[in-house]
Amino acid sequence: MSYLVISAHDYRSRRKAGLHFIAGELARRGPTRFFSCQYSLLSDLKSDPRKSIGSLANRKEMHEGVECYLWKTLIHPFNMRKEMFQPLESFLFRRYVGRPSPVLVEWIREADTVVFESGIAPVFFELVRELNPAARTIYVASDDLETINVASYVKRTFDRIAPQMDALCLKSRFMADGMPRSDNRYVVPQGFDFSIAEHADPSPYGEGIHAVSVGSMLFDPGFFAIASRLFPEVTFHIIGSGTGRHDGYGDNVHVHDEMPHKTTLPYIKHATIGLAPYRAAGLPTYLADTSLKLMQYDFFGLPAVCPSGIVGDYRSRFGYTPDDADSIAAAMRAAMAAPRQTFRTPLEWSQVVDRLLAPQDYADTQLPGEARRTEAAAFAYSQVA
């Protein structure tokens, strides 16, 4: 079997998301290609994480067993936000899809399975159906579309085509309310790379109490402005936040540039506590299940401090209210006093990909209260559609 992944990520990026691990696992099962879209000269004007590999755009390259292509255009369609610009937004998206990269056309025709990541990727679904109607189509809901603020055109397109896909795979049950109701929805949780334990030594720290934060998603610098003043005895490490040092930080805050994923692991394993300082505005509940940093903290037995809305049912997490000094202080004290232990064992990425490719075969993928989509029902739907 051959696989094609369509995403606004790039497999070669330093910053690793779940789809990178999925693509890596697919490559162990058959020829796998990773097509990165929505990249243009406009991307160079903002903090697109693919800027570091921009020189590789518009040419094929094998990277760690996956054939990659970063499609760079003069401009790309984007969310224009205001209703008055909707006609122009729709025009740009139709033009983008109507003039696809020849590489994308080639790879679609040769794929047995096409994986669409949440974001812009679903706008190419009808192109897949036109060029390769036999291909199996799988949607990976890494994020809720409202949460990542996709363009109205993308949302409308997804709402229309979602029931026609073979499987809509949600990383958390909390995503269900933001998805079109259809009988092809499944829960396939975030996986985990257990081999990270092999790359987590030695400790990069000296003596003392160390708290670490990794990543840039919804990063809230205000947390550190408060916590660093309340806890001068703690050394705070911020890795890859996408922002520089803020005036409110205490001298005990160390800001590190973005670094390769493996390089972050010793900082996590040997920390005293892990931090997930997400902003309150727009914080999705499903992060309780999908936050990779929180999963890594739990794997290494770190007590974690995070906003109360994403504590979930994890006993190793201690919640606070953003911008509330008293609640931040209470969460920090509780985490520093908590024992180091792991409360939940996640799926390995191989188990996740098993479920993505055939979610109907696993009892644990069914959403509570929803009937499983049978082959007969899928055939009947296809005849109507």
Q: Is the pLDDT of residue 5 over 80?
A: yes
Q: Is the pLDDT of residue 375 over 50?
A: no
* Residues labelled as active-site residues: 143
pLDDT confidence band for 361 (50 / 70 / 90): very high
Q: Is the pLDDT of residue 35 over 70?
A: yes
What is the rounded average pLDDT of the residues 185-194? 93
Contacts of 9 by beta carbon, 8 Å cutoff, 6+ apart: 17, 19, 20, 36, 50, 117
pLDDT digits (tens, 9 = 90+) for 319-351: 999 999 999 999 999 999 999 988 888 899 999
pLDDT digits (tens, 9 = 90+) for 91-116: 999 999 999 999 999 999 999 999 99
Beta strands in the chain (DSSP E): 3-7, 32-40, 61-63, 66-73, 113-117, 136-141, 167-170, 185-187, 191-192, 209-214, 234-239, 253-256, 273-275, 304-307, 317-320, 347-348
pLDDT confidence band for 146 (50 / 70 / 90): confident
Whether the Cβ atoms of residue 58 and residue 71 lie closer than 8 Å to each other = yes
Where do the domains of the chain lie, and which CATH numbers do they carry? Answer: 3-190+350-384 (3.40.50.11010), 194-337 (3.40.50.2000)
Question: Among the residues of 11-135, which ranges form H helices?
Answer: 18-27, 86-98, 102-110, 125-131
The reported pLDDT for the residue numbered 369 is 66
pTM of the model: 0.83
Cα 205 from chain centroid? Answer: 29
Q: Which of 67-81, 219-233, 284-298 has the highest mean pLDDT?
A: 219-233
pLDDT digits (tens, 9 = 90+) for 11-23: 998 777 889 999 9
pLDDT digits (tens, 9 = 90+) for 198-216: 999 999 999 999 999 999 8
